[in-house]
Amino acid sequence: MSSKHGEIFLLILGVVKFVHCDNCFDVATAVQHDKYMEHQMFRKVRSPSPYACASACLMSSACLSFGFDMETRTCLLNSNNSANGNIVDRAGFLFSDILHWPKSLSGPCSLMSCPANARCQVDRLDRATCVQEFQGCGQPPEVTNATKTSEGHYLGSVTTYACRQDFRTCYDKVTSICQSSGQWENLTAGLCNQYIWHNPTLKEKHALPCGPSSKFRATVIGTPNQATRWNIWLWKGEDLLALSEFRFQFGETRNLTVMNDLVNGQWGKELRVYDQPMNIGQETEVQITLHTGIYRLDIDGQSMLNFTERVPGSEPDSILIEGSVSVRMMEIWLY
């Protein structure tokens, strides 16, 4: 195969070779073997050879580089070049910046200049015209506290999101698809929410992941550091739906565990358990589970109290810890 200017290429056993001649285009220096550009693909088409793929890229006003899958004979047109895109290793692929390739490969389109939103097309009579081109959806949107995996931004391409460490997915839909409108499919706001806190700040409300919930388990691992008291608050707005308080020496009380609530400014009926299994300076694990309207309190695996919610169906939306304690970790697990 040769072009009008004497470029000679051979495709033997899936490897691009260059045959030397005067004024030839050196394809060996233009093509990178087993290389792939990430996230920049705006069009994917079947192609018989890398040369046909290069020709398709030359015909597109948006194409700055191309990839070629040797196994599936798929041409990947990219909207960026190697100077600005991320090139990675991928066996069986070829990659090249289009600026290295002679325009003559595009045939009649070599003399055609199309606007930025178009590509050149050759009809059966070998006539070149400019036609509108779908140039992808651009880079997929960022999602707070998530990483994304995307092959490109061509029509129908899929971007998948995964929540970062200590964050959890709040909705079943974790993908976005590039649509014919040129826009990525909308994702629900707040896809990833924190459910594990390391050394959480005391006296600060931390939102429950994915919003208010009637079924969850809150685990707090901490070390009491003074012989006074510390407590865990579960809030809904201005109402305190469940208070778990651990008293070592507070007023006239000693070694006491208390649960109560404060709704519409009125304290409820206090539940008490004496001789709590906690020691100053010793790490302890506290779990508060809400299920079927009952708060269950466990300390180091020992069941302490069952506290029935005063307002049926109330769902806490935040948690707060305060008092004489050093907290190493807090986790909210939703059922």
Q: What secondary structure does DSSP assign to 178-195, as a single string?
A: B-TTS-BPP--S--EEE-
Tokens 């629900």 belong to 188
- Pair 180, 219 in one domain: no
Q: Which of 103, 132, 161 is the last residue of a domain?
A: 132
Euclidean distance between CA atoms 60 and 38, whole angstroms: 19
When the pLDDT of each residue in the chain is averaged and rounded to a whole number, the result is 90
Residue 325 lies in a domain: yes
Q: Flag whether pLDDT at 7 surpasses 70.
A: no
- pLDDT the model gives residue 26: 74
Measure Cα distances from 184 to 9, 53, 176, 179, 190 in Å: 39, 26, 6, 6, 17
- Pair 115, 159 in one domain: no
Tell me what the mean pLDDT of segment 86-90 comes to: 96
Max Cα distance, the chain (Å): 101
- Pair 43, 79 in one domain: yes
Domain count, the chain: 3
Which has the higher per-residue pLDDT, 296 or 26? 296
Tell me what the mean pLDDT of segment 95-109 comes to: 93
Euclidean distance between CA atoms 155 and 189, whole angstroms: 23
pTM, entire model: 0.77
- pLDDT the model gives residue 14: 40
- pLDDT the model gives residue 24: 60
Give the full edge-to-edge strand order of the sheet including 41-46: 32-37, 87-97, 65-69, 74-78, 41-46
- pLDDT the model gives residue 189: 85
- Pair 206, 259 in one domain: yes
pLDDT, one tens digit per residue, over 220-267 is 999 999 989 999 999 999 999 999 999 998 777 788 999 999 999 999
pLDDT, one tens digit per residue, over 149-177 is 998 999 999 999 999 999 999 999 999 99
- Pair 179, 97 in one domain: no
Angle at 220 between CA 215 and CA 222, to 5 degrees: 170
C-beta separation of 106 from 91 below 8 A: no
Tell me what the mean pLDDT of segment 201-222 comes to: 96
In DSSP terms, 1 is beta-bridged to none
- pLDDT the model gives residue 218: 98
Euclidean distance between CA atoms 234 and 187, whole angstroms: 29
Give the range of the structural domain holding residue 176, as residue numbers without chain letter: 146-193
- pLDDT the model gives residue 242: 97
- pLDDT the model gives residue 250: 79
Given phi > 0 = left and psi -120 to 50 = alpha, else beta, which region is 203? Answer: left
Euclidean distance between CA atoms 156 and 154, whole angstroms: 6
Residue 139 lies in a domain: no
Tokens 């939703």 belong to 334
Given phi > 0 = left and psi -120 to 50 = alpha, else beta, which region is 13? Answer: left
Tell me what the mean pLDDT of segment 126-133 comes to: 93
pLDDT, one tens digit per residue, over 269-325 is 999 999 888 999 999 999 999 999 999 999 999 999 999 999 999 999 999 999 999
DSSP 8-class letter at 154: S
DSSP 8-class letter at 201: P
Q: Flag whether pLDDT at 2 surpasses 70.
A: no
